[in-house]
Amino acid sequence: MIHVNMPNPIGGEHWGFWIALYFFLAGAGGGAYLLSVLYASESLRRVRQAAMMAFLAVVLGSGLLVLDLGQPLRFLNLFLSGFYPSSVMWTGSWFLLLAGAALLWVFLRPASRAAQLSAALLVALVVSYTAVLLMATAKPFWNATPLLPWLFLASAATSGAALLQLLEPNERLKRVLVAMAFVELGVLLLHLLWAYPQAAASVMALLAGPLAWAFWGFLVLGWALPIWLERRTHLAAAVLTLFGAFLLRYFIVFAGQV
Partner 1 sequence: MPKPNDYAILFDASRCIGCKSCQVACKQWNDLPAEQTQNRGSYANPLKLSGATWLKMNFWEGLKPDGDPYFDFTRGSCMHCTHAPCVASCPTGAMAHREGGVVTVDQSACIGCRSCVQACPYDAVHFDEAKGVVSKCTLCYDRISNGDQPACVKACPTDALTFGRYQEIRAVAEERVRVLKERGYPRATVYGLNELGGTHVIYVLTEHPSAYHLPVALKEAEKRAGTGWLSAGIAAAILGAGLKFIVERREALKGGEK
Contact footprint for partner 1 (CB under 8 A): 1-6, 8, 14-15, 34, 38-39, 69-72, 74-75, 77-78, 81-82, 84, 86-90, 93, 124, 128-129, 131-139, 143, 146-150, 153-154, 157, 172, 175-176, 179-180, 183, 256-257
Q: State the nearest-atom distance from the C-beta of 203 to partner 1, in Å.
A: 18
State the CB neighbour count (10 A cutoff) for residue 165.
Answer: 24
* DSSP for residue 73: G
User: What is the signed CA dihedral for 152, 137, 254, 245, rounded to 10 degrees?
Assistant: -10
State the CB neighbour count (10 A cutoff) for residue 15.
Answer: 18
| Cβ closest to partner 1, residue 161 vs residue 242 | 161
Longest dimension (CA), the chain: 67
| Cβ closest to partner 1, residue 193 vs residue 236 | 193
Q: State the nearest-atom distance from the C-beta of 92 to partner 1, in Å.
A: 8
Q: State the nearest-atom distance from the C-beta of 219 to partner 1, in Å.
A: 21
| Cβ closest to partner 1, residue 143 vs residue 209 | 143
Residue 218, burial from CB neighbour count under 10 angstroms (0-12, 13-18, 19+): buried
Distance CA 121, CA 249 (A): 22
Q: State the nearest-atom distance from the C-beta of 45 to partner 1, in Å.
A: 20
Q: State the nearest-atom distance from the C-beta of 247 to partner 1, in Å.
A: 21
Distance CA 230, CA 251 (A): 25
Residue 138, burial from CB neighbour count under 10 angstroms (0-12, 13-18, 19+): exposed
| Cβ closest to partner 1, residue 105 vs residue 129 | 129
| Cβ closest to partner 1, residue 150 vs residue 223 | 150
